[in-house]
Amino acid sequence: MGPVAAKSYPGQDAIAIQARPAQRAKQEIDYGRRAKGYVFGALWETTGDCWTQCYPRRTKTHFIDFLAWVDARVPAEKARIYAILDNLDMHHCHDLLLFQIHHPRWEFVYQPKYAAYLNLIEPWWKILRSLALNGRRFETWAEIAQAVEAATAYWQAHKHPFAWGQRRRHQLLRFKRSVIFTTKVLRI
């Protein structure tokens, strides 16, 4: 999920728009970071299963530890695990090759550098971030880790196959529109 800092995150508090004078959305000023860390995550999009772990730094050691942790949770009857990775330096390290030798069912697929929009986990990160962080204030990294763990548990309790590009409920359906040309002939 990238670096997550112990700070205040803006929420979605409703304001009374009919009140006069009009209300404004407010958030208290938050100065500086108190603590930070990284959240590693994996999503099995066909079943909706997800796994997250919080680490103090983003290192190769933590990444390999996370992969081994996920490997223990994926059922043993699955012969192949395809992991789609971006082009972060950590995803091309020698330790990853050693991991792949010891765990032969893993296969790593890398996104093209020119097509970052193909990173399919980003919409899921947005959902997890909204479940765990929005509208809350964190003083320590342990509070963030606990919030991410609770959000992951909530997702697991309500899991469903994850569909990318699914229509949002507040958007109207787009109907196929036919174009009609009308012409008028003027006789003189």
Prediction pTM value: 0.71
The model's confidence at residue 150, banded by pLDDT at 50, 70 and 90, is very high
Question: What pLDDT is attached to residue 127?
Answer: 85
Answer yes or no: is pLDDT of 25 > 80.
no
Q: What is d(CA 117, CA 136) in angstroms, rounded to the nearest whole number?
A: 29
Could you tell me if residue 32 is left (phi over 0), alpha (psi between -120 and 50 degrees) or otherwise beta? left
The CATH fold assigned to 33-157 is Nucleotidyltransferase; domain 5 (3.30.420)
Element (H, E) at 68: helix 60-73
**Highest-confidence range of 20-34, 53-67, 76-90, 163-177, by mean pLDDT?**
53-67
State the chain's mean pLDDT as an integer: 78
Residue-range domain boundaries for the chain: 33-157
